[in-house]
Structure 1
Amino acid sequence: MGRAKRAGRTLQVGRAVVAAAAVATLCLCFGEPTTTSLSVASPLDVPVAVSQADVSRTHLRPVDGAVLQAADIPEQNWLPGHRGVDLEARPGAMIRASGAGTVRFAGVVAGTPLVSIDHGDGLVTTYEPVLSGVSQGETVSRGQVIGRLADAATLPETARRDPGLSWGARLDEGYIDPMSLLGSVRVRLWD
């Protein structure tokens, strides 16, 4: 009699599984279509290119020199690229804040003197190699002198040694081309 009870229970479980499968099949075939989907992105899948539509375009160039190397922003933070723009400037040139904000960092990293400014809207700009004339936490205005360009030839081996000013920008966690922060350019064809 023990075997008969077990066989009956097995048959009931089997019927329940078949019934559940039939209901699931009917729901899939005749149920309402949904547009909801779930996808999980790994940190490496998150794009670095950040929308610049809402970025204030009221910044100014920190130095008047020509562009020595344009930005080449990579699609992922870990990919190679040029995360800023290099502007021509001579050692000792006065470097201005591109926009108003608070000095986030003023010091030396890997032998390179630099200044970072938090503009309060998710935007942080960096200037290197700059011998700082400001202190961390200090409020700066647009166009205010924040330091002088260091002479790359006098910096330690570990420092950035390219000529001119390296000007970078990050919006939230992604790099952006700092030239996109500038307002429209007025072209004058004659005097």
Structure 2
Amino acid sequence: MPRLCNSFRAVLHLRTVLICWFVVLLFTHALALSPAISSEYPRWQWPTHQGAQVLRNFDKPAQKWNSGHRGVDLAADDATVRSPAAGKVVFAGKVVDRTVITIEHEDGRRSSFEPVAQPLKVGTAVKAGEKIAEIDPAISHCSQLCIHWGVREGTGKSAEYLNPLLFLGVEDPSVLLPIGEDFAA
């Protein structure tokens, strides 16, 4: 009988070791397949000029219906607005009192710019860096010549606004740190 118990324990131990090894392999494989930050946020071009001053930062509201600033305001040296990445014009028209142009990029994300004048027509394919519109001088959005740039991921009610500066490599994504026993990060 003791011999049977020892065999049973050995089988249980081997089974436990194999399960743990399998879990470690699964976890390691999942980490290897998870996208890196750089692939999650591809590098795009500045829609105004390289290194433009950010006049107003992205301020994502706590809830989708709350007020916030769902994009960034970038200073401009001239009135030219350029596509930050390749894509297609999916909207060009009035929203309230200003003209907006929206580019759907190859990865499905959408960039919107306002206030603009002389936007390209809906359906126009654009390359990264290509002129898509001019800043509308008749609307003073900022205290100086500027463009508001918003980036959305997803469509409809599930659309999520993202910080456009992530795509320029200017800012890094937020990382939540573990909280210690004293509730300090």
TM-score class normalised by the smaller sequence: 0.5 to 0.7
Residue matched to 1:106: 92
Aligned-pair identity in percent equals 33
- Structure ID, larger Rg: 1
Aligned to 2:113: 127
Report the Cα offset of residue 105 of structure 1: 0.5
Please give the TM-score of this superposition, normalised by the length of structure 1.
Answer: 0.60
* Mapped partners of 1:83, 1:145: distance in 2: 23
Q: Any gaps of 5 or more consecutive residues in structure 2?
A: 1-35, 172-185
- Indicate the residue corresponding to 1:81 in structure 2: 68
Q: Does 1:138 align with 2:138?
A: no
Counterpart of 1:168 in structure 2 is 150
Contact 2:82 2:129 in 1 (8 A): yes
Length, aligned pairs only: 127
> Is the Cα–Cα contact under 8 Å of residues 101 and 119 in structure 2 kept in the other structure?
no
Alignment map for 1:1-191 (pairs within 5 Å): 53=37, 55-64=40-49, 65-89=52-76, 93-151=79-137, 154-155=138-139, 161-163=140-142, 164-172=146-154, 173-183=159-169
Q: Which amino acid counterpart does residue 100 of structure 1 have in structure 2?
A: A
In structure 2, do the counterparts of structure 1 residues 176 and 184 end up closer, same or farther at CA, with 3 Å as the change threshold?
closer
C-alpha distance in structure 2 between counterparts of 1:55 and 1:134, whole Å: 28
Gaps of 5+ in 1: 1-51, 156-160, 186-191
- Structural RMSD (CA): 2.3
Q: Secondary structure at the match of 1:117?
A: strand
2: CA distance, partners of 1:118 / 1:80:
24
